[in-house]
Chains A and B, each alone.
Chain A
Amino acid sequence: DVKVTQSSRYLVKRTGEKVFLECVQDMDHENMFWYRQDPGLGLRLIYFSYDVKMKEKGDIPEGYSVSREKKERFSLILESASTNQTSMYLCASSSYRGSGGFYSNQPQHFGDGTRLSIL
């Protein structure tokens, strides 16, 4: 089974702090994603990465950055945390399966989530 592990289930930080959320997957997946989940808004994509050192902005990248130095690890960074970044953060990974230009969407596998509170 795919295992996506997020380093913390609960995290409390102060405004202005630099915050790191870590995510590790054990299935050699090419793609990794960071979402935030807020009541009534569903999941919104912050950033994703399709290869080591490669990243793309999602729908709400402002105030966030990411790092993917190794294939299995994808970090979300809040450079200067603000109270409006209090949320549930979900990491996900998926594989790319294809050959000869055919691309197959494999389902995303999610971690347990990190509930982040910024005071």
Chain B
Amino acid sequence: AQTVTQSQPEMSVQEAETVTLSCTYDTSESDYYLFWYKQPPSRQMILVIRQEAYKQQNATENRFSVNFQKAAKSFSLKISDSQLGDAAMYFCAHTNELPTATGTASKLTFGTGTRLQVTL
């Protein structure tokens, strides 16, 4: 079974500090994508960062970066210079290819989320 594990239900970081959210996953596929999504209190999920499994270089997006360890099936998110607006629920997810009548389609398997609090 495809699974995604986020072992930290809640995390807290002080403004301007750095925090790392952990994620491990299990997949039998050799080529897949990994994502971190952010869900602020307003509830709309927003893509934070994406990593392609065949790329060894870790993805970065401004203050957000990942530490992707393919062999260990680990995909952690690092937030640098944390801001109050970073407070949200963060979900890790990976793709699964599913057969369809016309080929394949991709679905996402999500972790249970990490609630990040940012304090002054």
Contact = CB atoms under 8 A, between A and B. Distances in A.
- By secondary structure, the A interface counts as strand
B20 to A, nearest CB: 19
A105 interface: yes
B102 A50 contact: yes
A34 to B, nearest CB: 11
Contacts, number: 62
Contacts of A113: 43-44
Interface residues of A, number: 28
A54 B110 contact: no
Interface stretch (A15-23, A41-49, A67-75, A76-84): A41-49
B45 interface: yes
B29 to A, nearest CB: 11
Contact of B43 (A33, A45, A108, A112): A112
B84 interface: no
Contacts of B101: 54
A40 interface: yes
Given A42-B112, A54-B100, A105 B44 contact: no
A56 B105 CA distance: 9
Closest 9 CB pairs of A and B: A110-B45, A42-B112, A43-B110, A50-B105, A42-B110, A107-B47, A105-B33, A113-B43, A105-B106
